[in-house]
Amino acid sequence: MNMFALRSFMIAAMAIILVACSPKPEFKNIDITGSTAFGKDFSLLDPDGNVRTLADFKGKVVVMFFGYTQCPDICPTTLTEMQQVMTLLGPQSDKVQILFVTVDPERDTAAILKQYVPSFDPRFLGLRPADEAALEKVSKDFKIYYKKVPGKSPGSYTMDHMAGSYAFDPQGRLRLYIKHAQGPETLAHDLKELMK
């Protein structure tokens, strides 16, 4: 074996050893790393009318939750839990971006999102689709279930919607489906894993 072949063999062997020795993250939520069927990107409006995409948050772990501001239970519970996660993360929380995406843009105006979402934590950002077609696109892209449930009057409807969230790593890759209401410690653990 000549010196070039030996060196190439040694480099390849070292690479295999390094990959084999790299610990796989032990997530407590559902690992969807490598999924290419959905959740690649989004194009949504922030409360100031700016178009935001996943690239705007590169370098941060992004947690994306779909809901609506008049939700009586799941949404405020989730946002409160996210706030508790940020407290548990301490200084590492600056490496996390929480995004709340409304499935009720009819009532969740930019002004309402600007007031409601940061009331849980000033770093949280509310996003909304520009129109019904944009809502349909993002819900299809992320496999989001939502449905308007009529109330006693036209403006009193509620929205059925999925309760889980998605997490992206700092490189913008979709990594986790986060189950609802597990407690802030569980989510903080997984977000720390994504920061590694």
Domains present along the chain, CATH in parentheses: 25-195 (3.40.30.10)
pLDDT band at 29 (very low <50, low <70, confident <90, very high): very high
Q: How confident is the model at residue 136 (pLDDT cuts 50, 70, 90)?
A: very high
189 marked ligand binding residue: no
Q: Please name the residues in contact with 145: beta carbons below 8 A apart, sequence gap of 6 or more.
A: 139, 160, 161, 162
Q: What is the pLDDT of residues 75-124, one digit of tens each?
A: 999 999 999 999 999 999 999 999 999 999 999 999 999 999 999 999 99
**Mean pLDDT, the chain, as a whole number?**
89
161 is in an annotated binding site: yes
Q: Is 21 annotated among the ligand-binding residues?
A: no
Residue 3 — pLDDT band, cuts 50, 70, 90? low
pLDDT higher than threshold 60 for residue 5: no
CA dist., res. 176 & res. 159, Å (int): 24
